Chains A and B, each alone.
Chain A
């Protein structure tokens, strides 16, 4: 019994940081409609800044002052980010800001590395709270008890601010219709900045508060992000009580999980989430997202047409140049081209559901990595030949997409996005923790193509055929009734349903197709590298694809491919430098600000302005 209570208390203490980061994310999303991917980074900054302050400020007063100051400083850093990065892109199409926040993650990662070094930092103990208290014979750290008391106060304070003050009324009003709030005389810019400060300060506070328990390291940002998304989804977007309850639930179960099922701690979190969503699709305290809310920006897409003769000639010429590459390119260039081709197929598969279906998946890596692991496991355990493994990879990934899609498509918008992310993390944690089969972090190695395809040139041709075939197939599907139905479901689900189209089934089928295509790419990837590691399933991999699609241009069919070439090309150059993340992050942010329609969309607009292309209908 005593052990049980001690466990419970530890779980409750752990909930503190999680709640603060999650409520900050939720607040920022509510008002600005931006899912701040960089929120984990602010949490990490809070820990590092708090650590440095504690080195300077002595004693108990210094300790607590450091924590508070860390919150304020991180909040101010958030303000800088909001003003410099997000303000210029509020007018960009919805979700394009995601890419900008991802750029922020990269920048903060490298800046933290520069400032504090690569070594993990051990958190100082809280003065006066170093020992343990025995509760029914079981030791409970005093600091845990302190956290236990502090968190509800923070939660209550926030709740009071949001429900009882004028600022809170304005925040809630802006959550619904920010333009109208502006028209009523409220300066929206400052409201946005203020909310960003508050949200980031909460994240920073959370990071600093957990220092004595966990210290600081460079992986904190992504590590907490998943848990935070799970908390927000379980609790319900925008609900403070929900965030608190969900944080407690996840943390307590996490602690018990470590004790009773140490092999499945990560998986447990996702199982709970799926269970909650089965019963309450919008989380414990959440409400359905209202479709067609005000404040959405971006012009509707233009009608699509199958490529004309000129476009087909250009594509054919491009393919010819590629096909002749072994003649003039080095073997290094061939390997790079193979990588790019595979990546382009992966990106095109995401573009299919994101661009045509409006289904923003944050976890598309599940199917890329999934396909890769299916092939690798088949080779490792069943000596499957490459040809068969390449066939079964998309099948496995497609099956995974059918299951994951079934759950995720019950929700829409940002909930859908977060669920897909959570599922890809579930797969990642399965692979990571199920070491006996997947070899965990060591990965699966020695997975080579069949003898006939083992040469660089042959494998390049194999990839060229399969990838261009896949991309062209997806492109054709876009012009077929199926692709049209997918767009119909995105443009007006209500009209589609009212004319007999089962929109959910259309989206489900598209999700499965996209998953299978990503699986093809994953299969090709394994055999080109000879190995696969869990990081092919990571958030970062999903984000790569997202960035590519957004950078290339969501609203253009060629967006995925062009973005894929651009990102892989740039990465190849930048990764030769030490602080390449910083450079890439800055570059991404700049592209987002300068070319909000994506590379293809912006190029098309420029071409129209200069009279090279015929413009949209009403420009005549």
Chain B
């Protein structure tokens, strides 16, 4: 469904992704693993075209995304949840969801507010609260809910477990599994291998912006030397 082929991305002069390639199949939950600074967030942004790759291809449903405006990428069914949450703190929960709202899309779930409130009961209680009045965990849920309002067929989750309490992390894992059961494809970046094990089918390990491993989590578990070399657990 998503194919990254020989992508090279730069931040200013720093060469962050070098010849990065991997694929994600429809219906999978894929975990993008790697150390801090390995290029995980840049990979996410390069898919969304928030960072435009200097060379290579990002093929989504057989169409190259490179060079498209981010809103066009979003319109094709890619939903992006940034690592630093970036909710609209001056807007209420309902208004945040409104910003994310897009027309229904064929071949994927059409989310309504009520469905999302079922998924995230905390948000329902706080629907008229402003974003800044919410805790970190609630904000994290809101960013995911906001992205789902765009009815994406493919969700990019950048570091969903970072900086939140362990109880919320567990809830996050349940949500991701539920998205999978609804037929969505998910690519999440993660530093917490335990979290990845709990939710993902396949793992992609990157280091220095290049792919070092691509396989199922069972295969990864069978090769502890890879884990030790690249994941610094």
Contact = CB atoms under 8 A, between A and B. Distances in A.
Interface of A: 166, 169-170, 172-173, 175-177, 179-189, 294, 299, 616, 618-619
B89 A180 contact: no
A184 B77 CA distance: 10
Contacts of B102: 184-185
A341 B73 CA distance: 53
Nearest to A186: B71
B46 to A, nearest CB: 13
A294 B71 contact: no
Interface string B6-24: 0000001110000000000
Contacts, number: 70
A399 B37 CA distance: 50
22 contacts: A169-B95, A169-B99, A172-B95, A176-B88, A176-B89, A176-B90, A176-B91, A180-B86, A182-B69, A183-B48, A183-B71, A183-B73, A184-B71, A184-B80, A184-B100, A185-B71, A185-B100, A185-B150, A188-B71, A294-B86, A299-B12, A616-B13
B139 interface: no
B146 interface: yes
B133 interface: no
Contacts of A299: 12
B154 to A, nearest CB: 13
A413 B170 CA distance: 41
B185 interface: no
Interface residues of B, number: 28
B88 A177 contact: yes
Residue of B73, B74, B146 contacting most chain A CB atoms (<10 Å): B74
Interface string B39-82: 00000000010100000000000000000011101110000101
B88 A185 contact: no
A619 B50 contact: no
Contacts of B95: 169, 172-173
A401 to B, nearest CB: 35
B147 interface: yes
B98 interface: yes
Given A169-B98, A618-B13, A182 B70 contact: yes
Contact of A184 (B12, B14, B69, B150): B150
Contacts of B150: 184-185
Interface of B: 12-14, 48, 50, 69-71, 73-75, 80, 82, 86, 88-91, 95-96, 98-102, 146-147, 150
Contacts of A170: 99
Residue of B71, B82, B98, B150 contacting most chain A CB atoms (<10 Å): B71
Nearest to A191: B71
B75 A172 contact: no
A181 B102 CA distance: 12
A93 to B, nearest CB: 13
Nearest to B100: A184
Contact of B90 (A172, A179, A189, A619): A172
Given A187-B69, A299-B12, A180 B75 contact: no
Given A172-B91, A183-B50, A619-B13, A177 B86 contact: yes
Contact of B99 (A179, A181, A188): A181
Contacts of B70: 179, 182-183
Contacts of A182: 69-71, 74
B69 A186 contact: no
B125 to A, nearest CB: 21
A339 B102 CA distance: 59
B91 A185 contact: no
A294 to B, nearest CB: 6
A172 B130 CA distance: 13
A184 B146 contact: yes
A555 to B, nearest CB: 14
A618 B82 CA distance: 27
B9 to A, nearest CB: 15
Contacts of A181: 99
A185 B82 contact: no
Residue of A170, A183, A618 contacting most chain B CB atoms (<10 Å): A183
B131 to A, nearest CB: 9
Residue of A175, A177, A182 contacting most chain B CB atoms (<10 Å): A182
Given A185-B74, A619-B13, 10 more contacts: A170-B99, A172-B91, A175-B90, A176-B90, A177-B88, A184-B99, A184-B150, A185-B102, A187-B69, A618-B14
Nearest to B143: A180
B12 to A, nearest CB: 6
Nearest to B89: A176
A560 B155 CA distance: 48
Contacts of B74: 182-185
Contacts of A179: 50, 70
Contacts of A189: 69
Residue of A176, A180, A618 contacting most chain B CB atoms (<10 Å): A180
Nearest to B152: A185
Contact of B88 (A166, A173, A187): A173
Contacts of B96: 173
Contacts of A177: 86, 88
Contacts of A618: 12-14
Contacts of A184: 71, 74, 80, 99-100, 102, 146-147, 150
A619 B70 CA distance: 28
B75 A185 contact: yes
A525 to B, nearest CB: 41
A594 to B, nearest CB: 20
A184 B82 CA distance: 11
Nearest to A294: B86
A187 B95 CA distance: 18
Nearest to B12: A299
B71 A187 contact: yes
B84 to A, nearest CB: 9
A286 to B, nearest CB: 12
Contacts of B82: 180, 183
Contacts of B91: 169, 172-173, 176
Nearest to A299: B12
A289 to B, nearest CB: 12
Residue of A169, A177, A181, A185 contacting most chain B CB atoms (<10 Å): A185
B119 to A, nearest CB: 18
A175 B146 CA distance: 17
A557 B91 CA distance: 41
Contacts of B89: 176
A190 B50 CA distance: 18
A610 to B, nearest CB: 16
